[in-house]
Amino acid sequence: TPTIGVLALQGDVREHLTALAAADAAAVSVRRPAELAAVDGLVIPGGESTTISKLAALFGLTEPLREAIRGGLPVYGSCAGLIMLADKILDPRSGQETFGGIDMIVRRNAFGRQNESFEASVDVRGVQGGPVEGVFIRAPWVESVGAGVEVLAEHGGHIVAVRQGNALATSFHPELTGDHRVHELFVAAVRTGS
């Protein structure tokens, strides 16, 4: 059984822990570099990316996380977590930094005011058995990707799920639906060590 951490600085940590456990991983919270060093994979939850960015710096996690991701640690980010995995944010708040790992540019709060939160069926490449119900909450979209990035899903003509090597990210929150197939996809990637 792989041990998978959830970055527990801010955001919907508990929901990811529950989804990972349902997907047959040993799920643990990660707040310190020593805890990061002990996991086989890491989830970066949804929440507020500016807050996660600041708290990661405060907890001395920014550099260890960047290094771990560069070193091949499997990571999965949902919503704010997707933003944290972007090499570049189109409209960063001042001081907002990401961990990076995916060669993409993201736009925060991209889906606009009328649609700040909504649900939509999303076909995710690699997820069997039909579309997943995507919960989008002030969600980012992926504005553009580099050549090494695989687009896994789009919604309304915008990229909402991607993978590059060891890093997986979705604009939406599968941890809020009780459908654990996206977490299963990630756990499977952790098992094969990619």
Closest CB to ligand GLN among residues 2, 84: 84
Contacts to ligand GLN from residues 61-120, by CB under 6 A: 79-80, 83, 108-109
Is 137 part of any known ligand binding site? Answer: yes
CB of 191 to ligand GLN, least distance (A): 26
Asked if 140 contacts 110 with a C-beta cutoff of 8 angstroms, the reply is yes
49 binds ligand GLN (CB under 6 A): yes
Closest CB to ligand GLN among residues 12, 179: 12
Which residue in 41, 46, 77, 134 binds ligand GLN (CB under 6 A)?
Answer: 46
Q: Which residues are catalytic?
A: 79, 173, 175
Give residues in contact with ligand GLN (CB under 6 A).
46-49, 79-80, 83, 108-109, 137-138
